[in-house]
Chains A and B, each alone.
Chain A
Amino acid sequence: MGVIRSFRKNFSDFFKKLFNKKNARIGIYGPPNAGKTTLANRILRDWTGDAMGSVSHIAHETRRARRREGVTIKSNGGSISLDIIDTPGLATKIDFHEFMELGMDEAESKRRAKEATEGVIEAVKWLENLDGVILVMDATEDPYTQVNVTVIGNMEARSLPLLIVANKVDLPESSPSTIRDAFPQHPMVAISALEGKNIDTFYDEIAKRFG
């Protein structure tokens, strides 16, 4: 029996290696300023030693999708390899006046708004090419946004795995339980991407959902 079992395992591993070389493509989505790039940077620093991109308190700092292939995450004795895609923040409206209120001149604000609209288009297109999504929500904000509803609806319609991240739990006004109550049908992990709080639980959930 042992020989047969061993043969079966080797046969199975061979075919997995042969046909399953592609890493799962996991997109990091969410509204602007939820902490997507901070989380992407945290993942990359922990597992590859470098970073994905710069972060800012100004919305739409990430205006092009960034992809890092073959990020290997180890958890619970196993490891999974993923392609991580950090996407621009999804939004239904972009008003250049909001950038002006943050101190930018009109020309710069309009240029940034134009790039942000292109970033949203790119992020929506990426939705169709993913194997799963990490949806980052700001735990200090109302979770019932159209962006969250649209991303969750897309993943449900395609039966693809989704992990909700309630970010910024280092802030005293955060309320991750509000997010859990809003979307109880999906797994959620409460973290601080900035401080690394609860990050090991986050990696365990990644292994469970996308492994």
Chain B
Amino acid sequence: MQGIQMDLVSEDRLAKMPPVEKIRFIIDEVKSGKILVLEKGLTPEEEATLIEMTMTQIQPDDFAGIEMESYPSQTDGSFLGKLFKKSPVRTRLTVIGPANKLKTLKKDRDMISALVSNK
């Protein structure tokens, strides 16, 4: 059966990985043609690192980059969040796939609409 594999990755699975391993895992999976839906999403720093590392992987006629969308992060307004200020940003779901297979049609604060193509 032909199709596109979509992996829904739990928060626990990524939480066990160091940041570099997490980014490497995402790039390897996406380069193999998979679309990933990350339950918790990535921090802004991780997103920036993912963009940076993706750029090092781009090859003409092979890999043109990624399509990535996530809901805007939310500031942690809880007492502990304010007290420690170490993790003030709460990340939310992220969708990542190869740019030639995944295309964002529409996105707003709480809705991501995407087209998956098997071309």
Contact = CB atoms under 8 A, between A and B. Distances in A.
Contacts of A149: 44, 47, 70, 72-73
Interface residues of A, number: 29
**Which applies to chain A's interface (DSSP): helix, strand, loop or mixed?**
helix
Contacts of B65: 91-95
A150 B54 CA distance: 14
Contacts of A142: 106-107
Given A93-B65, A149-B70, A125 B47 contact: no
Contacts of A110: 60
Contacts of B64: 93-95
Interface string A76-95: 00000000000000111111
Contact of A117 (B56, B70, B107, B108): B56
Contacts of A150: 44, 47-48, 51
Interface residues of B, number: 30
A125 B58 CA distance: 18
A153 B55 contact: no
A211 B55 CA distance: 34
A144 B51 contact: no
A121 B48 contact: no
A119 to B, nearest CB: 9
A186 to B, nearest CB: 11
B48 A127 contact: yes
Contacts of B49: 124
Nearest to B47: A150
A144 B52 contact: no
Contacts of B47: 146, 149-150, 153
A153 B88 contact: no
Contacts of B54: 92-93
Interface string B74-102: 01000000000000110000000001000
Interface of B: 43-45, 47-49, 51-52, 54-56, 58, 60, 64-70, 72-73, 75, 88-89, 99, 106-109
4 closest Cβ contacts across the A-B interface? Answer: A153-B44, A93-B65, A93-B99, A95-B64
